[in-house]
Each structure stands twice: as structure tokens, then as C-alpha cells.
Copies of this chain bind each other. A is one copy, B any other.
Amino acid sequence: MTRAELIHQIKTKHTFLCVGLDPDTEKIPKHLLTEEDPIYEFNKAIIDATAPYCVSFKPNTAFYEAYGLSGLTSLEKTIRYLNANYPDHFLIADAKRGDIGNTSAMYARAFFKRLDCDAITIAPYMGSDSVKPFLEFENKWAIVLGLTSNEGSSDFQQQKMNGKFLYEYVIQTSAGWGTPNNMMFVIGATKANMLTDIRAIIPEHFLLIPGVGAQGGSLADVCKYGLNKDIGLLVNSSRGIIYVSNGTDFAERAAAEAKKMADEMKTYLNH
């Protein structure tokens, strides 16, 4: 998907919500467990219910790998379902991959060519040649970890490197490897006050913001400091949407929660 198409979707639907698909068989509704592929059935229902209120879906690969080949089959089916039925939704593989060049090229092939995702999240520790192979595919995106929303982000990301916080240094350096048309950054929403400094470094890039909802970030703050002229935000919620209910009403309740977030987003877009 191109940047122009993504912006068009956001402006048309008045939402920049991304729904995280992190299925956990201990949390999904019990009545689905008798299905042949409970994870896929769960995802399909969540996708169909929340699609009107979001512009993006983000399966997290860990939640599929944990179930072995059966989980990976569910992942592949979910991605094919999304590509077939929701081609206008921006599809992010939240995989946090990154390795030496020839290996990153194999990951890029897996997620961009075989699975036809629009984007993949990338861990930047190994530097330029671990990221660049993901930038060589037309209309595909590398979403590089900048500042994450977890406690451990203080260990390295929030330590100083060359006079800057590591996350600022990583953002500034890696932004030079691509363009705002093929790179985004993960910025944890629990650190909304740092968004001003980040926007000074990358005014144009889209930011993928996890941590709103279950992890405690504030949507108002994220919008106040993060929005740019092209919106420039994708705000993700996973657990806060998909696990609102584990009864037979799980999909409706997820839709209601997604709608609530989209309604709030709409107010910030109209400012």
C-alpha cells in the first residue's frame, strides 16, 4: 500500500486505528475451541466486526508461533483472509525481525512476497544492512522500533548515545536509510511527552503507536503531540479490543470498543 492510499483510507474513514491480532487460546471464547481452527475463527470474527472502525490489522507472529505449525497455518489463513477481503486495510506483520543482510532478505521474502503483508516491524540493533533489505520492495514498509512502550525501554533506548537518547539516535540514523514512503517507526504511547522531540526529528513519517489501552497510554496525548499534516499516526490496540468479552458476544463487544476508539479519533481529526 502506498502512503497516499493509507492517508486516503484514514481521511475517508476518519480513523487511524490498528487492531492487533494476538490470539491466545487461554483468552479467546471457550465456544470457539471446538472449531477446527479456533484461532482463525476468532480472527475472522474480530476482523469482520472491527474492520469498519480501523484502517489496519496487525497480527503478532509470536502468538501464532507459540502454537507451532497449527498456529502458523492460522496466521497464513488470517493473512490470506485479510488480503482477499480487506485489501484496503494496511496489513502489518508484527514480527520484530532483523538479522545480517542475506538473512533479513529471507525474512523480507517471507513477509512481503509469500504473505504479501504491507509492512513488518524491525528491530534495529544490527544496523543498516539488517534493515535495508526490507526497503527494497515497492509499496512495502519497514516499521523500525524506536521507543517501545515496555518497562525495558529504559535499559538501552532511554540511555544517551552521542548526546541523544538511543531511540532518538536510532530514529535519526535509520530514517536516512529510507523515506517517509517506505519507513515508519514504533513509538510507545506511554511516552507521549517524548513525541514532540521525535516529531522534530521525523516530522513526516508515520508512527505506529502501541500501548494505548492495556498498556496505559493516552490517545489524547498521542494525538496532541503526534499528529502531523498527513495524520501520520497508526494507533494500535490489541488486548484492549479483542478480549473485551470472552462470551458469544465477543465480536460485537470488540466492535463496540473499536468504534469507541474510532469515535474519539474522529474528534482529533476534526480539530
Residues of chain B within 8 A of A154, CB atoms compared: 127
User: Is A101 part of the contact surface with B, judged by Cβ < 8 Å?
Assistant: yes
Chain A, 109-129, contact with B by CB distance < 8 Å: what is the 0/1 string?
110001100000001111111
Say how far A105's CB is from chain B's closest CB, in angstroms: 8
| Nearest B-chain residue to A75, judged by Cβ | B69
Interchain CB contact under 8 A, B152 and A128? yes
Say how far A101's CB is from chain B's closest CB, in angstroms: 7
Interchain CB contact under 8 A, A106 and B153? no
Residues of chain B within 8 A of A157, CB atoms compared: 125-127
| Nearest B-chain residue to A103, judged by Cβ | B62
Interchain CB contact under 8 A, B150 and A156? no
Interchain CA distance A27-B257 in the complex, whole Å: 50
**Residues of A that sit less than 8 Å from B by CB:** 22, 24, 60, 62-63, 65-69, 72-73, 76, 96-101, 103-104, 106-107, 109-110, 114-115, 123-131, 145, 148-157, 159-162, 166, 169-170, 173-174, 215
